[in-house]
Amino acid sequence: MKRKSPQRQANATHPTRNRKGFGIILMFIAAVGLVAFACRFAYVALGGKVDSANLSQYRQKVVARNSVLKAKRGTIYDRSGNVIAEDSNTYTIYAVLDQNYVDGKKKLYVTDKAKTAKVLAKYLPLSEAKINAILHPKAKNTFQVEFGTAGTGLSLATKQEIQAEHLSGIKFSDSPSRLYPNGVFASHVVGLAQPKDHAKSTDQLVGVMGLEKQFNQTLKGTNGYRTSQTDAYGYQLPDSQVKTQAAVNGGSVTTTIDSSLQSYLETLMTSVATKYQPKSLSAVLEDPKTGEILAASQRPTFDPSTGDGLGDMWRDILVEDNYEPGSVMKIFTLAAAIQSGKYYPNSYYRSGTVKVADTTIKDWNTTGWGTIPLNQAFPRSSNVGMVKIEQTMGATVFSEYLRKFGFGQQTGIALPGETSGKFDFGAYLDSAMASFGQSIDVNTMQLMQAVSAVANKGPMVKPRLVEKITDKKGKTTTYGRQVVAKPISKSTATQVTDAMRAVVSASYGTGAAYKMNGVDLAVKTGTAQIAGSSGGYLTGDSNYIFSVMGMAPASNPKYVLYISMKQPQKMTAPAESIMAEIFKPMMARALALEGNGDTTSDQAEVASVPNVMNTAMATGQQKLQTAGFSVATIGTGSQIVQQLPTSGGSALKGSRVLILTNGAMTMPDVSGWSKSDVLKLAQLTGKKFSLKGSGYATQQSLKAGALLGDDPVVIQFQQK
């Protein structure tokens, strides 16, 4: 046996000392680790960070749930408080297919695809086979599927109908939308509000056109929020703090639009646009006393609810288009000449042609009417005669009055994109051509503003579309009549009105097509050439902008109606006859809204017309009678569904208010009715009436109580 070395013997004899040394080393390592851990803990606790991650923010992200409280976009109303545009939601449908999507034992995915396809085919514009194919995607592990555009933009009613089918796995997401209950209804004027591109469900709509755009800041609300602390499953933590900021809904805009008149105008416009297919068509009805636009429309137009037609015309041609107005401009040429003392109506001139600079200007009747007095130039719409008037007045004076009438500058109407128009008489020919509406650019609202000076016997009133706005805080701002200038005197306005009367009444006038029996009417027709893209003007019978400006009653105009039609593609009738299909019924309908003609005293008392819509017939009748009105009832029902005049307006006490019930539409006894009351009856029922004579109704071809049909009812009038 080998003997151990002395060193090995020493180690073997001191095992306790070895273990002690090893323990010291372990304790040292543990102490270092503990110190390092303590330092790290202190760093994390005090600094709130791990590497670059902020623990406080991370915790908030994990357990803080933020929800947006959506604000409602404000409402746009007509003059009587009827809704034109209001806040809404649309819905997108989708189907969950993942079979792991359950709540306990409740299956939250589509369990019966065949049944689901069959049911959804009743509500979506997709076939049962197509829906079934969507529910069987090729990709495996598909969590959910959607149904394309067919499954978007669903109304609340459609959503509720589908939910009532109790289909498992069928879900909906919502997005903000705008409801336009009247469809095509002053669409470019009211405008459009749409989601932003790539909008989230919490984003608000943005006005992109018309009043929606002009008053976007007023109409849009301010979203609120709600913040709460939740666990990983979404349940609120005990004693956690909830922060809430309430949403602020948008304000409202009340317009000057009369829904009854606007709806009727849309009907007339559609009829003419369909029949004659003009490239564009516009019409504006205004109360010149107040500047209120009661109805305004254009073609092409669109349905803001569906977007149909939006691609055909984005511009609001009433304010965004400059154009040469043609002979309607002669109203202001004549007014300027009379006001400046440079009009000599009894002097004679040679009609037909006149040479200005190097250009020959012709009358529409190129052979002329021989040598005629200057007072026939306006009713005959003689370009040569207007040039003679302008030459006597001079370009400087003419230009001065055009500016007084507001041409070459915006009216400031509450619509986006209004043009200023322009005229520049740098060349003598320009001034001469402007006298009959060429070589000058205007927009429709400038014409409406300028003609108000004639209608009001001097004061020129700014056109307006807004009655009042109410902001988010409830503060209301009301807009009233605004006189912007007085370019002419009462005497001048009266003479211009008489000349416009002659356009309709004189045997040589150009406005015979607009004559309305029993209506004191003042009119000016217009035919403007259209500039070609390569210089000069287009040729051809239909390559014109045809127009008419009319006022009624001419002695004290309550309505001004302007219609413009560009290049009818199917011109199967004279331009005046085509536009008369809008002008005459529209003006008649407007005049029908006036109070009963029996009351003419300046001391007559005016009262507000109460709202009796959707009330019992007896209750409504009593309410109207208590307010001081006479009541005429049409129909056999027990519930009132329409009334004229509409609520909110004012009418003379004792005047007749017509109410339509939900029963069969029957003919009332109209004995003693004024023409305006019979016209109200035509408006309310939509039936045809032929009015003969003047004064008050004495006979009717359909007896009282008989059903109103499609045949015209003849009403005979006689003076008392």
Each residue of 47-56: pLDDT tens digit? 555 555 565 5
186 and 288 belong to one structural domain: no
Please, what sign has the CA dihedral across residues 307, 313, 314, 317?
negative
- Residue 130 CA to residue 151 CA, distance in Å, equals 12
- Residue 381 CA to residue 325 CA, distance in Å, equals 13
pLDDT band at 597; cut points 50, 70, 90: very low
What total number of domains does the chain contain? 3
Angle between helical axes of 330-339 and 383-393 (0-180°, round to 10): 30
pLDDT band at 139; cut points 50, 70, 90: confident
Q: Which amino acid is at 538?
A: L
Buried b (16+ CB within 10 A) or exposed e, 578-611: bbbbbbbbbbbbbbbbbbbebbeeeeeeeeebbb
Whether the Cβ atoms of residue 90 and residue 84 lie closer than 8 Å to each other = no
Q: Tell me the two tokens of residue 151.
A: 């499954």
Please, what sign has the CA dihedral across residues 102, 105, 108, 113?
positive
Assess if residue 95 is contained within a domain. Answer: yes
545 and 622 belong to one structural domain: no
Mean pLDDT of 25-37: 75
- Residue 477 CA to residue 327 CA, distance in Å, equals 39
640 and 491 belong to one structural domain: no
Task: Answer yes or no: pTM beyond 0.75.
Answer: no
CA 30 to chain centre: 80
Question: What is the per-residue pLDDT for 492?
Answer: 97
Question: What is the per-residue pLDDT for 48?
Answer: 54
- Residue 507 CA to residue 486 CA, distance in Å, equals 33
346 and 387 belong to one structural domain: yes
515: burial class by Cβ within 10 Å (0-12, 13-18, 19+)? middle
CATH number at residue 139: 3.90.1310.10
Residues 6+ apart with CB under 8 A from 418: 319, 320, 410, 411, 412, 443, 445
- Which single residue is written with the structure tokens 């005459």? 584
75 and 173 belong to one structural domain: yes
Each residue of 499-540: pLDDT tens digit? 999 999 999 999 999 999 889 999 999 999 888 877 778 888
- Residue 385 CA to residue 368 CA, distance in Å, equals 10
Report DSSP letters for 338-403, one per residue: HHTT---TT-EEE-SEEEETTEEEE-SSTT--SEEEGGGHHHHT-HHHHHHHHHHH-HHHHHHHHH
172 and 274 belong to one structural domain: no
Q: Is 547 a catalytic residue?
A: no
Mean pLDDT of 405-420: 96
Compute the C-alpha angle 246/249/254, nearest 5°.
160
- Residue 651 CA to residue 608 CA, distance in Å, equals 6
242 and 269 belong to one structural domain: no
Compute the C-alpha angle 514/688/633, nearest 5°.
125
pLDDT band at 5; cut points 50, 70, 90: low
Task: Report CA-CA distances (Å) from 602 to 81, 435, 655.
Answer: 29, 40, 15
Of residues 252, 259, 305, 327, which has the active-site annotation? 327
Each residue of 243-287: pLDDT tens digit? 888 889 999 999 999 988 998 899 899 999 999 999 999 999 999
Assess if residue 59 is contained within a domain. Answer: no
Select from 570, 524, 189 the least CA-distant residue to 325: 524
What does the DSSP 8-state code read for residue 442? B
**Mean pLDDT (the chain, rounded):** 87
Of residues 471 and 604, more confidently modeled: 471
CB atoms within 10 A of CB 165: 13
Residue that finishes a domain, picked among 592, 623, 646: 592
Assess if residue 119 is contained within a domain. Answer: yes
Q: Residue 365's domain spans which residues?
A: 260-592
Residue 65 has pLDDT above 70, yes or no: no
Question: What is the per-residue pLDDT for 598?
Answer: 37
545 and 676 belong to one structural domain: no
Assess if residue 324 is contained within a domain. Answer: yes
CATH number at residue 504: 3.40.710.10
Q: Tell me the two tokens of residue 657.
A: 């208010």
Determine if the peptide bond prior to 553 is cis (ω within 30°).
yes
**Is residue 109 classed as helix, strand or coil in its secondary structure?**
coil
118 and 210 belong to one structural domain: yes
363 and 245 belong to one structural domain: no
CATH number at residue 701: 3.30.10.20
Q: Tell me the two tokens of residue 211.
A: 């009043």
228 and 311 belong to one structural domain: no
Phi then psi for residue 51, to 5 deg, are 55, -120
386 and 500 belong to one structural domain: yes
